[in-house]
Amino acid sequence: MVVTDIRQQFPILGRTVKGKPLVYFDNAATSQKPQSVIDALSHYYAHYNANIHRGIHTLAEEATHAYEAARFAVQEFIGAAEVEEIIFTRGTTEGINLVAYTWGRQNIAAGDEIIISGMEHHSNIVPWQIVCEEKNAILKVIPVKDNGELDMDAYKSLLSSKTKLVSIVQVSNSLGTVNPVKEMIGAAHEVGAKVLVDGAQSAVHLDIDVQDMDCDFFAFSGHKVYGPTGIGALYGKKELLENMPVFQGGGEMIREVTFEKTTYNDLPYKYEAGTPNIADTIALKTALDFIKDTGKESIRKHEAELLAYATAQLQAIPGLTIIGQAGNKVSLVSFVIDGVHPQDMGVLLDNMGIAVRTGHHCTQPLMKRFGIPGTIRASFAVYNQKEEIDVLIAGLHKAIKMLT
């Protein structure tokens, strides 16, 4: 994999910010898009824009074909057994909410327990709090250890016959920690609980095989895998999806409507009410093709080098502490600096053309756990280079001098 060739495919990387070449290290928030994805969007609108499924004209057939081809691409990307198990959503948040509102409402009763972890994104906390409040169920939280790993002994002791669901993040967006989800799923299944895996951060870095993992649900977002915003997918085991109540009502999701009674469509359409996000779905396939063509193994190797390099360079800065030093991490570093507010650092780095994320990263309870208001987070993607990390390190030195 030649990074300079990869960079050529991402037009945005050629721009400047505040007169400096852009250094984009906010990939965990959203990744940039290759030209092929941008072209797929405009090609759809310029050549075969039409509503899908019901049309018999050529444009509708072409659009339907491309939309359904994306479903096969997602199936392959995450290793699902059947294409009907792939539901298109707006993203991870909608996927988790879909499960909470359908499976959750049907299966959670008073006194039942839902287990999440202390490093969850708000998207994997709030939907379960809503279900727990409505059903008088109890939310339990797996503690996070000082090194940013989950306390697995505590997890096992939380599991019981009362546990109905474990909903966990595979990769922390704030720490980079890769959680041992396969082991966690096995333990949850032993007590009869179902497991949802939040794959928002993992899908772009790790090989995903939902069958091997044996998760019951898996949600991810297109915009973090080099695809467009507004599209994502939810995987669910067929048997579960078939038995869950519907989510939203409207067109597409019905078989027959009368004023007396409505019957519902087969999977996956049962959960896709209304005209879907056709263009972004089609372009999601192009993004997954980009990852496949580049090769996840090569991407991972490159990102691991960036992580090791950045970690070593950052650790050499006096007063800087990396939050989350798990043994198994993706290419993301979160850190705090003595006497420096993360937001001030973010502003100064932006003046140097460097885009990092600062704040709580939608994980307020995790920040509380570490006793900090937030972190400075640099997250790396396939197109980042060591030279850019050097720019960040030089920028940090300069900004620290100004701020302390």
Least distance (Å) from ligand PMP to the CB of residue 92?
A: 4
Q: CA 238 to CA 81: how far, in whole Å?
A: 9
Q: Residue 218, SS3?
A: strand
Is residue 268 reached through a cis peptide bond, with omega within 30 degrees of 0 on the bond before it?
Answer: yes
Q: In this structure, which amino acid lies at residue 346?
A: G
Question: Which residues in 168-207 contact ligand PMP (CB under 6 A)?
Answer: 169, 173, 198, 200-201
Is the Cβ–Cβ distance between 276 and 252 less than 8 Å?
yes
Kindly state the smallest distance separating residue 235's Cβ from ligand PMP, in Å.
Answer: 15
The residue behind tokens 């409402």 is 105
Measure the CA–CA gap between 149 and 329, rounded to whole angstroms: 10
240 with 217: CB under 8 angstroms? yes
Instruction: For residue 320, give the 3-state DSSP assignment.
Output: strand
Least Cβ distance, residue 201 to ligand PMP (angstroms): 5
Residue 345-384 contact track with ligand PMP, rule CB under 6 A, x = bound = -----------------x----------------------
Binding mask 281-320 for ligand PMP (x = CB under 6 A): ----------------------------------------
DSSP character string of 57-102: SHHHHHHHHHHHHHHHHHHHHHT-S-GGGEEEESSHHHHHHHHIII
Catalytic residue among 59, 138, 322, 362: 362
Smallest separation (angstroms) from ligand PMP to the CB of 16 = 26
> Contact region for ligand PMP (CB under 6 A) — 117-125, 205-213, 295-303, 334-342?
117-125
- Listed ranges 67-75, 90-98, 322-330, 343-351: which one lies at the site for ligand PMP (CB under 6 A): 90-98
Residue 118 is which amino acid? Answer: G
Give the residue with the Cβ less far from ligand PMP, 198 or 216.
198
Distance, in Å, from the CA atom of 347 to the CA atom of 251, rounded to the nearest integer, reads 46
**d(C-alpha 212, C-alpha 81), whole Å:** 10
Number of residues that bind ligand PMP (CB under 6 A): 13
The 152-171 site mask, x for binding ligand PMP (CB under 6 A), equals -----------------x--
Q: Does 92 bind ligand PMP (CB under 6 A)?
A: yes
By the 10 Å C-beta count (0-12 exposed, 13-18 middle, 19+ buried), 3 is classed as: middle
Interacting residue with ligand PMP among 27, 32, 93, 311 (CB under 6 A): 93
Q: What tokens were used for 134?
A: 């409505």
Q: Amino acid identity, residue 42?
A: S
For residue 169, the minimal CB distance to ligand PMP (Å) is 5
- Any catalytic annotation for residue 362? yes
List the interface residues with ligand PMP, window 206-265 (CB under 6 A): 221
Alpha helices in 206-272 (DSSP H): 210-213, 238-243
Q: Which residues belong to the active site?
A: 362
The residues of the shown chain that bind ligand PMP, judged by CB under 6 A, are 91-93, 121, 123-124, 169, 173, 198, 200-201, 221, 362
